[in-house]
Amino acid sequence: MRWKQLSVFLENKPGALSEPCRLLAGAQINIRTFSLADTREFGILRMVVDDPDKARRLLRRHGFAVRVNDVLVIEVPDRPGELAAILDGLDGSGINVKYGYGFTVDGQGKGVLVFAFDDPDKALSILKKKRVAAGLKGGR
Amino acid sequence: MKNGEFPGMHPASAMDYLPVAQLREVQFARLKETVRRAYENVALFRKRMDERRLKPSDLRRIEDVVKLPFMVKTDLRDNYPFGLFACPMREIVRFHASSGTTGKPIVVGYTQEDLDDWSRAMMRSFAACGVHRGDIVQNAYGYGLFTGGLGAHYGAEALGAAVIPVSVGNTDRQIMIMKDFGATVICCTPSYFLHLVDRAAELGVDLRKLPLRIGVFGAEPWTEDMRQRIEAAGGIRAFDIYGLSEIAGPGVAMECTHQAGPHIFEDLFYPEIIDPETLELLPDGTEGELVLTALCKRAMPMIRYRTRDITALEPARCACGRTLRRIRRIGRRSDDMLIVRGVNLFPSQIEAALLKVEGTLPHYQIVVDRMKGLDTLEVQVEVTAEVLSDTVGGLEQLRAQLGRAIESVTGLHPSLRLVAPRTLQRSEGKARRVIDKRVL
């Protein structure tokens, strides 16, 4: 399904990551998953949280530069070939994966993948049509 | 018009329209008196006059001012704290101070009459840009040793406006007060107002919907681009006020409603433009260093003070009808020029480049250093939500664009560093734009 991902600009220095996380914790906002993109000088904290609008307002109010963009969150069975199947489904569509990250939950047999596509709408409709991922059925 | 008022010319503004011949007479009479007082009471001035074999009685007309010796900022430092005072301490009622060129601050003193003159200049400044009785003036200049706060305060009170002496800082409270009190006028530095605009947006407050209509901005150089951005974002008219504590404080010159450059209150402050190299007087319309003589100052006569501000006196009469000459927008000072790797660099150039790429001016800082004998130029730019990308590639591209824009304007290839919002130093609401770490 489509979800709003938050990107937060961080300077690459000790402690930079903990402040936004503490803020979200204090507001009872749950971070579902995150990834860090980093360079020598700065980093981008990308997060999928349960209340992205509230999180964005909170972080902005505390002076963070925050950007919101749509990503697709796809639930897949935790087994070989699932990621390949999604990418195969998009083959030839011209859609580019900007980046992605994912995780599996031990013992539940499932994995969750987060994708940032250059054209999320088109990617979603193609994947739906091809029914490559069971996790898409709950999409909106 | 709010409250159905149509304010006419304020009585204090009458001097703004004095016929030129009469104005020159007033200037000359006041100059003679000030030079006499300085000669009798200030050792440094007397010494310099004697070196030139000049007596106060040698002045025959206002143009003779060019015979007088210059004063510079280091004179104030060398005579710290009270060495340039021309009257005994029992006549001094106020001190102000500002940062000097090195170490110790420079100190200025005022008699009660000096304060009254300054208040009148500030009152005329407010009147010139359309402030009147009934206005609510949020004075966000710093109160204290800095002349901005108290200068604007007394001027606005003298005009009969209602003053909120909020001083600088605590931006959230500024916005709350602006909204709740219905402030119609704000006084602060232009960079601080842009900060207010940004913060208000974060708090969901649209300044354009508030009663605020006039901004009196000074204490740092700014550009026409900034004026346009301030006026659009704030829903106000933005006016340039000029002043310096050595001469009085804010209110040495102020823009009228035509926004065509600040009018100097010439009956109080006599302007000249000189070539900063040859020290020759330059004709009106020619760019050079502004030299000011405080014509009425009693506590601390400032005669032919070199401001280091580069500007020109506009030769044409302003459409408002004032006989007071105007100065052009001060884009640079003869001493804020940096020489980096042999290239002349002005912070305003960097500003123009950043503005061009981002559309709005981000907070930035220029750090110049020297490593292994080579100058380094680093420009630190605060990242805003508007330019943030969710990819490293996007941010690297922004960084490269900013670097290229600076290079094309200055000819220097800077190292460009993106930093988190609100990490760059701001002091007294005045952005600190340049840090020169070089030991030259």
Q: How many angstroms separate the CA of residue B420 from the nearest CA in chain A?
A: 6
Buried b (16+ CB within 10 A) or exposed e, A12-43: eeeebbebbeebbeeeebebebbbebeeeebb
Nearest CB to A66; choose among B385, B395, B396: B385
Q: Is residue B74 less than 8 Å (CB to CB) from chain A?
A: no
Q: Is residue B202 less than 8 Å (CB to CB) from chain A?
A: yes
Query: What are the residue ranges of CATH 3.30.70.260 in chain A?
Result: 71-138
Residue among B182, B238, B241 nearest B215 (CA):
B238
In angstroms, the CA B30 to CA B65 distance is 12
Mean pLDDT throughout B34-61? 97
Q: How many angstroms separate the CA of residue A84 from the nearest CA in chain B?
A: 23
Q: Is residue B367 less than 8 Å (CB to CB) from chain A?
A: no
In angstroms, the CA B253 to CA B266 distance is 9
Q: Is residue A41 less than 8 Å (CB to CB) from chain B?
A: yes
Check pLDDT > 70 for residue A24: yes
Structure token digits, residue A25:
């914790």
What amino acid occupies position B17? Y
Check pLDDT > 80 for residue B105: no
Q: Is residue A11 less than 8 Å (CB to CB) from chain B?
A: yes
Closest chain B CA to residue A60: B202
Q: What percent of chain A has pLDDT over 70?
A: 93
Q: Reduce the DSSP state of residue B269 to 3 states and report it.
A: strand
Q: For B324-389, list the strands marked E by DSSP.
A: 332-333, 338-340, 343-345, 364-371, 374-382
Check pLDDT > 70 for residue B112: yes
Instruction: Give the mutation candidate from A67, A70, A72 for the B interface (greatest B CB count, under 10 A).
Output: A67
Q: Are A9 and B421 within 8 A, CB to CB?
A: yes
pLDDT tier for residue B148 given thresholds of 50, 70 and 90: very high
Under 8 Å CB-to-CB from B171, ≥6 apart: which residues? B195, B196, B199
Check if CATH label 3.10.20.600 holds for domain B2-19+108-330: no
Look over chain B and give the mean of its residue pLDDT values, rounded to a whole number.
Answer: 90
Instruction: Give the mutation candidate from B171, B205, B378, B388 for the A interface (greatest A CB count, under 10 A).
Output: B388
Residue with tokens 């994947």: A127
Q: Is the pTM of this model over 0.90?
A: no
A80-113 residue pLDDT tens: 888 898 888 888 888 999 999 988 777 777 888 8
Q: Are B388 and A10 within 8 A, CB to CB?
A: no
Mean pLDDT throughout B353-371? 87
Tell me, what's the pLDDT at B2?
Answer: 42
Under 8 Å CB-to-CB from B48, ≥6 apart: which residues? B69
Residues of chain B positioned with their CB less than 8 A from the CB of A10: 420
Q: How many angstroms separate the CA of residue B398 from the nearest CA in chain A?
A: 13
Which DSSP category does B284 fall into?
T
Mean pLDDT throughout B236-260? 96
In angstroms, the CA B28 to CA B86 distance is 20
The class level of CATH for B338-436 reads alpha beta
Question: A3 - beta bridge partners?
Answer: A71
B52-84 residue pLDDT tens: 999 999 999 999 999 999 999 889 989 999 999
The answer to whether the CB of B291 falls within 8 A of the CB of B301 is: no
Residues of chain A positioned with their CB less than 8 A from the CB of B417: 41
Residue among A28, A10, A12 nearest A20 (CA):
A10
Q: Are A7 and B388 within 8 A, CB to CB?
A: yes
Residues of chain A positioned with their CB less than 8 A from the CB of B365: none
Check pLDDT > 50 for residue B144: yes
The answer to whether the CB of B351 falls within 8 A of the CB of B364 is: yes
B172-190 residue pLDDT tens: 999 999 999 999 999 998 8
In angstroms, the CA B231 to CA B239 distance is 10
Under 8 Å CB-to-CB from B180, ≥6 apart: which residues? none
Q: How many angstroms separate the CA of residue B136 from the nearest CA in chain A?
A: 28
Fold of A71-138: Alpha-Beta Plaits (3.30.70)
Mean pLDDT throughout B106-125? 96
Residues of chain A positioned with their CB less than 8 A from the CB of B384: 65
Q: Is residue A46 less than 8 Å (CB to CB) from chain B?
A: yes
Pair type for strands B214-217 and B237-244: parallel
Maximum separation of any 2 CA atoms in chain A, in Å: 45
| Range 88-127 of A in CB contact (< 8 A) with B | 98-99, 116
Check pLDDT > 60 for residue B3: no
Closest chain B CA to residue A62: B202
Check pLDDT > 50 for residue B101: no
Cα-Cα-Cα-Cα torsion B280, B285, B288, B294, nearest 10 degrees, comes to 80
Pair type for strands B136-139 and B162-164: parallel
Residue among B74, B86, B81 nearest B45 (CA):
B86
Residues of chain A positioned with their CB less than 8 A from the CB of B363: none
Q: How many angstroms separate the CA of residue A107 from the nearest CA in chain B?
A: 32
The answer to whether the CB of B183 falls within 8 A of the CB of B154 is: no
Q: Are A44 and B396 within 8 A, CB to CB?
A: no
Q: Are B390 and A39 within 8 A, CB to CB?
A: no
Instruction: Give the mutation candidate from A8, A18, A36, A42 for the B interface (greatest B CB count, under 10 A).
Output: A42
Nearest CB to A67; choose among B388, B396, B422: B388
Q: Are B388 and A39 within 8 A, CB to CB?
A: no
Residues of chain B positioned with their CB less than 8 A from the CB of A69: 390
Within 10 angstroms of residue A105's Cβ, the number of other Cβ atoms is: 10
The answer to whether the CB of A43 falls within 8 A of the CB of A19 is: no
The answer to whether the CB of B404 falls within 8 A of the CB of B336 is: no
Domain boundaries, chain B: 2-19+108-330, 338-436
What amino acid occupies position B360? T
Which CATH superfamily groups domain A2-69? VC0802-like (3.30.2130.10)
DSSP B68-79: SPPB-HHHHHHT
Instruction: Give the mutation candidate from A4, A9, A56 for the B interface (greatest B CB count, under 10 A).
Output: A9
B281-307 residue pLDDT tens: 999 999 999 999 999 999 999 999 999
- Would you give the end-to-end CA distance of chain A in angstroms? 6
In angstroms, the CA B101 to CA B333 distance is 14
Residues of chain A positioned with their CB less than 8 A from the CB of B388: 7, 9, 65-67
Tell me, what's the pLDDT at B430?
Answer: 62
Residue B272 main-chain phi, psi, to 5 deg? -135, 155
The C-alpha angle B246, B251, B254, rounded to 5 degrees, equals 130
Query: What are the residue ranges of CATH 3.30.2130.10 in chain A?
Result: 2-69
pLDDT tier for residue B344 given thresholds of 50, 70 and 90: low
Q: Are B421 and A64 within 8 A, CB to CB?
A: yes
Mean pLDDT throughout A4-15? 91
Q: Are A61 and B202 within 8 A, CB to CB?
A: yes
- Complex-level ipTM: 0.78
pLDDT tier for residue B104 given thresholds of 50, 70 and 90: low
Q: How many angstroms separate the CA of residue A5 from the nearest CA in chain B?
A: 9
Q: How far is CA B244 from CA B98, B165, B358, in A?
A: 9, 20, 32
Structure token digits, residue B178:
């602006």
Question: A4 - beta bridge partners?
Answer: A70
Q: Are B423 and A67 within 8 A, CB to CB?
A: no
Tell me, what's the pLDDT at A135?
Answer: 54
Question: B339 - beta bridge partners?
Answer: B344
